[in-house]
Structure 1
Amino acid sequence: MKNIILYTLVLILFFSATGCTSGHYVATRPAPGMYSRPPRPYPNYIWVDGNYYWRGGRYVHRPGYWAAPRPHRVWAPGVWIRTPRGYYWRRGHWR
């Protein structure tokens, strides 16, 4: 019984901590990467804009790509969010 309670508490602490992220803030937004959009591979594919990823203490731009549409989903592009701490990137996602 004690082990079950202990395991339950550990799981609760683990899952409550995974929702606590600090994010990465910068004083100015980085310039978007310059690249050319390749031709659409299939008629129904949609363009997914590039995203920024935190790597080596800074945001790095990754170019966009063509993707097959997901059933009953819409692509929400990433956006820069301005806060008192600076800017952070909210990644694009399917919703």
Structure 2
Amino acid sequence: MKVPTTREEFFMKKLAVVLATGFSALLPLGVVMVPTAAQAQPAIIVQTPPPPPRVERIPPPRRGFVWAPGHYEWRGGRHVWIGGEYVRARPGYAYRAPEWRERDGRWEYARGRWDRDGDGVPDRRDRMPNNPNRY
């Protein structure tokens, strides 16, 4: 094994050890985080299904805002409830709430997002994002 001779080599080796240790600590939890090119956030995939959604009392509507319902996020190796809140509306877009999707016995978290034409297909994957006669 080569001994690091420069400061940069030392820090790169230390970074590699820290990353490898962190990744190996997540494996027993059944967590897989896969970075994707189209997203700034990594995909979160876990073995544990989320609990049933909680019932929330929705406050009165606010002009210029959209209600983002509460949902579970994966934090610290468990599902954590995040309460709903009003978010500033984006004219011409529909808000899609965060959701958990089951795929092959695993649960994948999809973050909340804005959709331009309201069809539920993310605009970056939609061939006709503004077609009103889509369906």
| In 1: Cα distance, 2:99 partner to 2:89 partner | 20
Which runs of 5 or more residues in structure 1 are unaligned? Answer: 1-16
Q: Percent identity?
A: 26
Q: Aligned with 1:87: secondary structure?
A: strand
RMSD: 2.4
| In 2: Cα distance, 1:27 partner to 1:87 partner | 7
Q: What code does the residue aligned with 2:51 have? A: P
Deviation at 1:22, TM superposition (A): 5.5
Confirm or deny: 8 A CA contact 1:23 1:88 kept in the other structure. yes
Aligned to 2:94: 74
Deviation at 1:28, TM superposition (A): 2.5
Give the TM-score, by structure 2 length. Answer: 0.47
Does residue 25 in structure 1 map to residue 46 in structure 2?
yes
Of 77, 80, 83, the residue aligned with 1:60 is: 80
Give the TM-score, by structure 1 length. Answer: 0.62
Does residue 86 in structure 1 map to residue 113 in structure 2?
no
| In 1: Cα distance, 2:70 partner to 2:100 partner | 13
